[in-house]
Amino acid sequence: MLFSGILWFPQKIKPFLDKRFFFPVEEKLRIESSPIPIPEAEALGSGLLIGYTTDNGMPVYIPYSRLSQHMALIGQSGVGKTVCGTNLMTQHIRNGGGYLFIDGKLSSSELDNVIMLAKWAGREQDVYILNAANPEQSNTYNPILYGDPQEVASRIISLIPEGSAGTDHYRSSAKQAIETIVAAFQRLGKPYNFMDISMVLMEAQTIYIILKELNSKYFDDPVTAQFKMLINRYRDKDGRINVEEFRKTLGGLAGRLHEFATGSFGQVMNTYNPELKLYDAIMQHKIIYVMLPTMGKNEQSISLAKMIIADLRTAISWIQKLPDELKPNPPYFVFPDEAGSYIDKNWTRPLEQSRSAGIFFCPAFQTFANLETDEKENKEMILGNTYTKIFYKLGTNTTATEASEMLGNRRRTTYAIGEGHGASISGAEVDTSPIKNQGDSAASTTMQRDEEVAKVTPEQFMALPIGECIVFYDGNRIYHLKTPIFKITPEARKVLNLDNNQLNRFVMPEVEGLDLFEKVKNLLN
């Protein structure tokens, strides 16, 4: 009997031992968790922790094999999206990976946090900062310096929004012109920057300088002939170059490029030998934090974000050509926070193809409406290519309803039990006999009904507390999680000297660029 009791007792207490945590949750938010994707023992170093289930406290890790199929973070402002992203990025750099964090908020505290967590992980030397609003706290970056003329032109053309048929005409003409100009620059063999291209588009003397150098060094070269044919289209009756007509053909592209060549943006991006080269940074698992001054310089910030994504597309195409053993492992993490302000159709191709390059995305946005650009299919293509969707508290009924429909329905059985009792007595009123007709009755009914109900209702999405999320994984698994927040204790900050943060600056050798601005200035003087 004692032996049987010993065998019986562990089986009875095992369910309670398995439930290591229990989080109090409102009755209407209690959602039964699906089986976890990967056991914790197998996940360490090969996946990222999203959070802990509210019903039994089990950790939910997403393996890198599924992270490579991308994630999406949806939720209103201030409910935990950035905290979740920071937690994922911190785990990722501890696993040896790198990330590109595009932040739509110009936050000095987030900058300190990025540097501090990298230092805590022993990787402070891998940090690059792009802060176009404050060049003194930024590394330099030139996204148009590398690649063949077609690739560079494709990045620059991403600055022109797509729209009507007339816009398409301007885009086609502008792409051809930029491609020809970049080919001429590369043929001259000197580095170039945004100022050099914008000078060609705005100043006729610049074109004459380029023509003179091409004729003197590469007269019979096809690149020289193509450049001449481009310029000859815009000569007037007297043979002079009509720069104004040239600029009109380019659809305002000269002004957009000039924004990157002057001011604080120019100090960061108008360089001939940049500190940050995106392809090299991805291959070396570097940590890149991009600060977009969207409140003060919204148009320029959106253009910068588009340029970075275009540069990333080129890097993906280069990495795809490499053998599998040379691709980033663990995969490189791209986290565009507040992506709704700069997302466009150029995002769809990276989401479709970056998995083969060892790169995964996790865009964060507030509503599904942020994905509805001029291209109607943009939203479907982005959501359709994210394997894991993480929903925090949703602020609109439209987004909550759409999220509920996305997760689907389940069958629920409802039961109704009814019971009734009755008693009756009958007889003549004038009858003095005590004998009457009496009767008792009883009845019971049971009704069962099957119905389809939402797995997670819109009301549940909108009632989520801060720090809790609904994870939709693998098309059929649902988890209600509490996400952890990563904090460093004051003792650790002191021991590791984490408060003394500074920017990594790299001594880059001086190179001689085209420097067309100085040449034109000297010529005019």
Q: Are residues 84 and 335 in contact, defined by beta-carbon separation less than 8 angstroms?
A: no
Answer yes or no: pTM beyond 0.75: yes
Task: Inform me whether the pLDDT recorded for 464 exceeds 70.
Answer: yes
pLDDT class of 357 with cuts at 50, 70, 90: very high
Residue-level pLDDT at 338? 85
Residue 25 in any domain: the answer is yes
Q: Are 134 and 323 in contact (CB under 8 A)?
A: no
pLDDT of res. 492 = 78
Query: Is 1 contained in some domain?
Result: no
Kind and range of the H or E run holding 448:
strand 437-454
Q: What is the pLDDT of residues 110-128, one digit of tens each?
A: 888 899 899 989 999 999 9
Report pLDDT for 139. Answer: 95
pLDDT at position 337 over 70? yes
235 and 92 within one domain: no
- Could you tell me the pLDDT band of residue 451, with boundaries at 50, 70 and 90? confident
CA angle 236/242/247 to nearest 5° reads: 145
pLDDT over 60 at 17, yes or no: no
39 and 134 co-located in one domain: yes
Reported as a pLDDT band with limits 50, 70 and 90, residue 163 is: low
The residue behind tokens 């987030």 is 110
**Which position has the higher pLDDT, 344 or 473?**
473
Give me the pLDDT at residue 375, please. Answer: 66
Question: Is 250 contained in some domain?
Answer: yes
Q: Does the pLDDT at position 189 exceed 50?
A: yes
State the number of CA atoms in the 13 A half-sphere of 188 facing the CB: 24
pLDDT at residue 225 tops 90: yes
Residue 379's pLDDT band (cuts 50, 70, 90)? confident
Q: What pLDDT does residue 431 have?
A: 56
State mean pLDDT over 326-336: 95
Residue 18's pLDDT is what? 44
For residues 93 and 123, is the Cβ–Cβ distance under 8 A? Answer: yes
Q: Are residues 153 and 129 in the same domain?
A: no
Count each helix (H run) and each strand (E run) in the chain, helices first.
Answer: 21, 14
Residues 219 and 365 in one domain: no
Task: Tell me: pLDDT of 429 over 70.
Answer: no
Least confident of 61-65, 95-99, 297-301, 467-471: 297-301
> Looking at residue 112, which CATH number applies to its domain?
3.40.50.300
Tell whether the model's pLDDT for residue 129 goes beyond 50: yes
Pick from 144-158, 243-257, 328-342, 464-478: least confident: 243-257
Residue 279 pLDDT exceeds 90: yes
State which of 221-230, 409-418, 481-490, 500-509 shows the largest mean pLDDT.
221-230
Residue 491 has pLDDT above 70, yes or no: yes
Q: Which structure tokens are listed for 489? A: 């204790």
pLDDT at res. 86: 93
Tokens of 119: 């230092």
pLDDT band, residue 3 (cuts 50/70/90): very low
> Same structural domain for residues 104 and 36?
yes
Same domain, 220 and 98: no
Residue 358 confidence (pLDDT): 94
Q: Work out the percent of the chain whose per-residue pLDDT is above 90.
A: 45
For the chain, percent of residues with pLDDT exceeding 70: 88
Q: Does residue 435 belong to any structural domain of this protein? A: no
Q: Is the pLDDT of residue 15 over 50?
A: no
The pLDDT of residue 251: 63
Q: Is residue 497 one of the residues assigned to a domain?
A: no
- Span 228-238, average pLDDT: 86
Same domain, 134 and 213: no
Residues 6+ apart with CB under 8 A from 129: 111, 114, 115, 137, 138, 139, 288, 289, 291, 503, 504
Provide the domain limits for residue 384.
18-141+275-410+455-486
Q: Are residues 55 and 193 in the same domain?
A: no
Kindly state the tokens that stand for 329.
């492992």
User: Same domain for 156 and 136?
Assistant: no
pLDDT band at 138 (very low <50, low <70, confident <90, very high): very high
Q: Which helix (H) or strand (E) holds 101?
A: strand 99-103
Contact 282, 328 (CB under 8 A): yes
Mark whether 153 and 131 lie in a shared domain. no
**Average pLDDT, stretch 381-406?**
92
| Domains identified in the chain, total number | 2
Q: Is 169 within a domain?
A: yes
Mean pLDDT rounded to a whole number for the chain? 85
User: Stretch 431-447: mean pLDDT, rounded?
Assistant: 68
Mean pLDDT, range 226-236, rounded to an integer: 89
d(CA 458, CA 405): 9
Longest Cα–Cα distance in the chain: 139
Q: Where are the beta strands (DSSP E) in 107-224?
A: 127-131
Indicate whether 246 and 291 sit together in one domain.
Answer: no
pLDDT > 70? residue 76? yes
Is residue 218 domain-shared with residue 306, that is, in the same domain? no
Tell me the average pLDDT across 214-219: 92
Mean pLDDT of all residues in 258-271 = 91
Residues 6+ apart with CB under 8 A from 157: 171, 174, 175, 178, 253
Read off the pLDDT of each residue in 87-110 and give the average, rounded to a whole number.
91
Is 329 contained in some domain?
yes
Is the pLDDT at 99 greater than 70? The verdict is yes
| Residue 220 domain-assigned (yes or no) | yes
Amino acid at 121: A
Strand, helix or coil at 194? Answer: helix
Looking at residue 13, its pLDDT comes to 43
Instruction: Answer yes or no: is pLDDT of 1 > 70.
Output: no
